[in-house]
Amino acid sequence: MTVRVRFAPSPTGYLHVGGGRTALYNWLFARHHGGVFVLRADDTDIERSTPEFQVDILESLEWLGIDWDEGIVVGGPHGTYRQTDRTARYRAVAADLVASGAAYYDGATPEQLEQIRVAAEAAETSPVYDGRYRLSAEEAAARLAAGNPPPVRLAVPRPGETRFVDVVRGEIVFGHDNVDDFVILRSDGTPIYHLASTVDDVDYGITHVIRGEDILPSTPKHILITQAMGAPCPQYAHLSLLNGPDGKKLSKRHGDTAIRAYRDAGYLPAAVRNFLAILGWSPGTDEEIVSLETMIARFELGAVSRNPAVFDLAKLEWMNGQYLRAMSAQEFSDLALPLVETDLGRELTADERGTVIAMAPLIQERAKRLTEVAPQVRFLLNDEVTIEPGSWDKVMTTAEAPIALAGAGAALEALAVWSVDAIEAALRGMLAAAGLSAGKGLQPVRVAITGSAVSPPLFESLAALGRERSLARLAAAAARLA
């Protein structure tokens, strides 16, 4: 059997990090088994689906390094892989199920369904619709002929149960007393999600359905439709949802939840992919930095935890920093230069490019995200420095600040050679002479030179900025204090 899995996002929003993890697990499973990864668009929610969200899903998957063998854009033997193009197929299946007796046309009114709900609530039972208002063949034919088609419901066998083994969660049983005779085709001829998704899985030959546990209550419905179609059921694996650090379901209150937000915030795709992979799966080692090759070689659904995983942003930042430092200096500079030019709104000169490349390794040692690069070299590329108000208030309001600025200006002005070693010796001599600690004596210099209390190493920053601009900035800061 060739493994065939699918990722079927609805283009009604940006790709969520949880959806990214689901796509990644499907992709890793397919690649591990030499199978096929299918990407389809569950776009039957016409009112909420947009081309913008569809583009975001594709771009986010590509950014994560997830490619697909069949599906939207790339094509394959099953048409466009968009559900909106398969309505005729869903209607045909619904008609076949009615003809076989597995489904029926239903005549229940909203008022009658509400009565069932109220009665069940009073009896403290599940408000399950049991088909009591199903139409006879003659009644259904009359309504169809009059242009007033009724909805189609699946006839759930009662009494009975649906039992299956979830690859992640083990054996699961749903009693049919808690499963409606559910609608599969609306009166307007549009399919319900359960029908469209299941027909696609059958038609596309999907062998394993790997998806979030929020869909688990729908699984008995999908199994019943599959069985009614006379098709083999895929294996199911329901992944736990992601939680925030507070133990609650991950949502916008915890911060950004879209893949695109992490791309724009300066995270590397390899780091995000690694982070998502170990949110609920272990490669069998204690190491948290896992190469893509290792993921593919070791990924198995049996190693996926059924417990919720915590989306810890601090851990993602740490991991991203590890990936940044693992880059070569050339790779880091190649990523940094376009970001700096975008920040400045212009192209760098040859000298400026050389300056950025020279400073890049110092930033690479400390950076957690790529978005930290441009702010840390901005002071070198503008004639005047813009000092952050927060840094000024924190550092320049101390009694030591004017002493440090005056002493640093005098010590540096006396230098015959402007080099990192000479600058360090001069400033450390100033600290000793003034009786200042490095923190109290050098932070005011850092803010005056770079505009921020957080910057590349100070001595290297001064050397890169040059004598004239360095002395001018120290004098300007001292004057501002005075």
Alpha carbons 353 and 364: distance in angstroms, whole number: 16
Q: Is the pLDDT of residue 34 over 90?
A: yes
Tens digits of residue pLDDT in 82-112: 999 999 999 999 999 999 999 999 999 999 9
pTM over 0.75, yes/no: yes
Helix (H) or strand (E) holding 144: helix 137-145
Out of 248, 252, 368, 394, pick the active-site residue. 252
163-192 pLDDT, tens per residue? 999 999 999 999 999 899 999 999 999 999
pLDDT per residue as tens digits for the range 358-371: 999 999 999 999 99
User: Is 315 assigned a catalytic role?
Assistant: no
**Cα→Cα distances 228→107, 143, 323, Å:** 22, 25, 50
Q: What are the tokens at 45?
A: 């929610």
Model pLDDT, residue 256: 83
pLDDT value at residue 234 = 98
For 17-21, 100-104, 254-258, 439-443, which range has the lowest pLDDT when averaged over its residues?
254-258
- The burial class, CB within 10 Å (0-12 / 13-18 / 19+), for 47 is exposed
CA distance 42 to 23: 14
* % of the chain at pLDDT higher than 90: 94
- Rounded to the nearest integer, the mean pLDDT of the chain is 95
Average pLDDT over every residue of 15-24:
97
Region of 435 (left: φ > 0; alpha: ψ -120 to 50; beta: rest) is: left
Q: How confident is the model at residue 226 (pLDDT cuts 50, 70, 90)?
A: very high
Helices (H), 292-346: 292-298, 313-326, 329-344
∠ CA 212-217-218, nearest 5°, is: 85
Domains of the chain with CATH codes: 86-239 (3.40.50.620), 383-482 (1.10.10.350)
Looking up tokens 């619904």 gives: 94
- Contacts of residue 45, defined as CB under 8 A and 6 or more positions apart, other chains included, come to 10, 12
Residue type, 456: P
- 480: Cα within 13 Å, side-chain hemisphere: 16
Residue 1 pLDDT level (bands cut at 50, 70, 90):
confident
Count other C-beta atoms under 10 Å from residue 436's C-beta: 17
Distance between alpha carbon 189 and the CA centroid of its chain, in Å?
35
Phi-psi region at 76: left, alpha or beta (left = phi > 0; alpha = psi -120 to 50): left
Q: Give the confidence band of 255 by pLDDT, cuts at 50, 70, 90.
A: confident
Confidence band for 254, pLDDT divided at 50, 70 and 90: confident
Return the SS3 of 337: helix
- Residue 8 banded pLDDT, cuts 50, 70, 90: very high
Residue 319 has pLDDT above 90, yes or no: yes
C-alpha dihedral over 307, 309, 310, 315, to 10 degrees?
140
Q: Do residues 311 and 246 touch, judged by C-beta distance below 8 A?
A: no
Question: 482 pLDDT band (50/70/90 cuts)?
Answer: confident
